[in-house]
Amino acid sequence: MKEELDKRLSQLNNEPDVSNLARQAFDSSYAHVRNEARASRKKRKKPIYMLLTMAAALTLFTMLSLDGTVLATFNRLFSFQDRGINQVAMTSEKNGRTESATDQHVTITLEQIIAGQHKLALRFAIAGDDIQLGDVTEFNLEYRIQAKDGTYLDEFISDTKPLNGDGGLIGHRFDTYIDQKKGVTIHEILAESKDRDIPSLDGAKIHIETLQWMQGDRSQTVNGNWMLPLHTTLPNEIMRYEVSGKVGKIEVVHAVTDMTSTHVVMRVDGERYDENFFFDNVYLKDGNGMIYRIETNYQMEVMNGKTTLTFHLPYTIKDATQKIDLGIKGIDMVTMTDSDK
């Protein structure tokens, strides 16, 4: 399956248009494999990375059967199989402009950026004549993102370096692809907001400090100074929800939907919950009857007999309806409406 997927991806053309039917197929395929992944997590049989590879392949094959012009869009997709990020990539023109910086005979190019209030996705291409890739098994890139006003929005650095801010975003995920023939390292980053929205990136810069390739017990480290401006042209439309009905056992502190996800902070009575309880039971039901669940990790804080949860749901502004139900199965549910309506 992977070989066929690679073959299909190599046929990308330059058509930017994607039909609504293809987009529906994308969501349908995505939802199917995500359900399989959730079932697998319960049974602990099939590794999640295998299911995500299946998701990429199933999505591609389904869409290709419906829309031959969809290939170009896949060139813009990130490899995390994050519904919101891929939805933006599929339904928007490629935003931002390519930026490059060279230091220590290594050139780093920022090829793609998707920045919402809740998630930030970045794709880099790293190339250098002195880099010996070989059979690289791991790659690390250390960086800091600094806003126009000088504050630090995100820092991902080793423990041996001091933080210039409070550390910034959480939930960092990474994916690396090594093209040995071309001598290029493709590195993708997906970061999620913590307990606040991601501030505007207008005038922001990313400062890359260290690159490290690892091959068994060998490694190659390059320290330098690569400074790249962050440009994004995507609209920053959001929808804020507030409780419109009764307040019961669930207190929703924050529920905001943007183009990448819905960021939720909620409190519930009790302190002792199994780690999978909220994965299995937290849900958002939109006005069309569609159900959305937690897919990535969540934060949990226990205090004074209550548990506070902070998490993201794959419900985006393109899905948004005026009314939603947000609940925890077996505990309670609250109805929420768009606060601007």
69 secondary structure, DSSP code: G
* Bigger pLDDT: 28 vs 166: 166
Q: How much is the pLDDT for 5?
A: 42
Of 185, 205, 229, the residue that ends a domain is: 229
Domain co-membership, 271 together with 334: yes
DSSP string, 151-189: -EEEEE--TTS--SSS---EEEEEEEEEETTTTEEEEEE
Domain co-membership, 251 together with 103: no
Domain co-membership, 191 together with 309: no
Q: How much is the pLDDT for 171?
A: 83
Give 27-68 pLDDT, tens digit per residue. 555 555 555 555 555 444 444 445 555 555 555 554 444 444
66 part of a folded domain: yes
Domain count within the chain: 2
Of 202, 229, 256, the residue that ends a domain is: 229
Domain co-membership, 118 together with 54: yes
* Bigger pLDDT: 199 vs 268: 268
Question: 312 near 120, Cβ under 8 Å?
Answer: no
Of 229, 258, 286, the residue that ends a domain is: 229
5 part of a folded domain: no
How many C-beta atoms surround the C-beta of residue 130 within 10 A? 9
Domain co-membership, 143 together with 278: no
CATH for 306 = 2.60.40.2320
Domain range enclosing 320: 239-338
Domain co-membership, 190 together with 167: yes
Q: Is the pTM of this model over 0.75?
A: yes
Backbone angles phi, psi at 173, to 5 degrees: -125, 150
Q: Is the pLDDT of residue 257 over 70?
A: yes
Give 280-308 pLDDT, tens digit per residue. 999 999 999 999 999 877 888 899 889 99
Domain co-membership, 185 together with 275: no
